[in-house]
Structure 1
Amino acid sequence: MPGQIIILNGAPRSGKSSIARAIQESFDGAWINLGVDSYEQLTPPRLRPGIGLRPGGERPDLEVFVPRLYAALYESIAAHSRLELNVVTDVGHHDAYSKPLDCLADCARRLAGLPALFVGVRCAIEIIMERRAASEPGRGYVTGSSDDPAPLPVRLWQEAVHRPGLYDLEIDTSVLSPEQCAEAIRRRLHDGVQPGAIERLAQAAN
């Protein structure tokens, strides 16, 4: 049987990485974490932030690479699943650099026939700004000020990352801990995934 795939999609600092760690620590079986942070370490410095490119149009020179980098990531996710390894991946999908749905639909198509749960990770922008302000120096997170408490790049992430909003499950880290989010995902898996959001998204690529 192929390994289970869990895709955590949300804005930076929404809590995706913490949920992924909670899944690795509490779920049965081997769970491989393939996501934005781990993939960035494999990306040549000149192409970073790569798949973490935010939807502001600040780096048009990198936008052409994003769909290919995502395609490679999802091919790797599919390969792990076919080898009976479970995968949890944290990403921030947006198609501001391409036609609506193109990149996300293409990624979904690459998981055809595999058990994949697409989870929307939401978080109130006020909480995200608090987390950004508390982040370790050098991470490059945009932070707010008294004059501009929620800068435009952060607001763009909040809006763009959840389009079109087709999910199997949505969780809110403003009110749930990473462990509670992981438990909600466990319950959803127990209830069954198919047919799911990934299949519906993949139809846009056909």
Structure 2
Amino acid sequence: MRHLDSVPERRGLVIFLNGTTSSGKSSIASELLELLDGPYFHLPVDAFHAMRSRAPVPAERLDVVLHRTWRGFHRAVAGMAAAGNNVVVDHVLSAEWRLQDCLSVLVPQDVVFVGVRCPVEELERRERERGDRHAGLAARQLEQVHAHGLYDIECDTGVETARECALRIREFLPGRPRPTAFERLVASREHRG
């Protein structure tokens, strides 16, 4: 058996899927796991919320609990990538601070930022069909989720299947340009600050 100290150091790639709830991020992530070479981990933000105990949280503390959950999620993703694991992230950047936090903890050149878009009518249809989401949630998230305006690649699940989106992402990876969207967003933030 190989000694752990002989495992070569490397940083993992982060394929960061950002879109509203019901936009198709999880379906694209599942397809990517089948299509991409080497092991990838799918880390959806919903899984972190599901890990929380079912003990009731008083309404006045809910924002703090959710904030800590998202911050922990971002650091878990960063930790997996720092340990050399490739990660597919499934997230809803529906608040500016979430993007800023991700920009501060992830290595910008190792992130492929993917905008997952979907027409509002289709989002509403999917919400009704799923039945586990608040009606209109995706429509309310739509403007803020894509407010930063920069992606490495975008897909529209109202036009393309999850498989087609995943194939386009896979084809994009080998020649992805620099600076990455995350690098440009970090530079923009530093220029403003």
Fold match by TM threshold 0.5: yes
Distance 1:120 1:47, change over 3 A: farther
2:42 to 11, 33, 49: 33
Counterparts of 1:61 and 1:9, CA distance in 2: 26
Match of 2:63 in 1: 63
Distance (whole Å) between structure 2 residues aligned to residue 155 and residue 7 of structure 1: 21
Structure 1 segment 23-102 matched on structure 2, within 5 A: 23-45=32-54, 61-95=61-95, 101-102=96-97
Letter in 2 for 1:164: H
Opposite residue 142 of structure 1, the aligned amino acid is H
Greater than 6 Å deviation, 4+ residue runs: none
TM-score (norm 2): 0.83
1:6 corresponds, among 8, 12, 15, to 15
SS at match of 1:167: coil
Asked whether the equivalents of residues 109 and 199 of structure 1 are also in contact (C-alpha less than 8 Å), the reply is: no
Hey, what does 1:110 align to over in structure 2? 105
Find the counterpart in structure 1 of residue 171 from structure 2: 187
**2:134: which partner in 1?**
142
Larger Rg: 2
For the 8 Å contact 1:14–1:121, the answer to whether it is kept is: yes
Match status 1:158 vs 2:158: no
Distance 1:128 1:104 in 2: 22
Shift of 1:190: 1.5
Q: Percent identity?
A: 33
Q: Tell me if the contact between 1:106 and 1:202 (Cα under 8 Å) persists in the aligned partners.
A: no
| Partner-residue secondary structure (3-state), 1:2 | coil
Contact kept in structure 2, 1:116 and 1:193, CA below 8 Å: no
C-alpha distance in 2 between matches for 1:184 and 1:60: 44
Q: Which runs of 5+ in 1 are unaligned?
A: 49-58, 96-100, 144-150
Counterparts of 1:170 and 1:155, CA distance in 2: 18
CA RMSD of aligned residues (A): 2.2
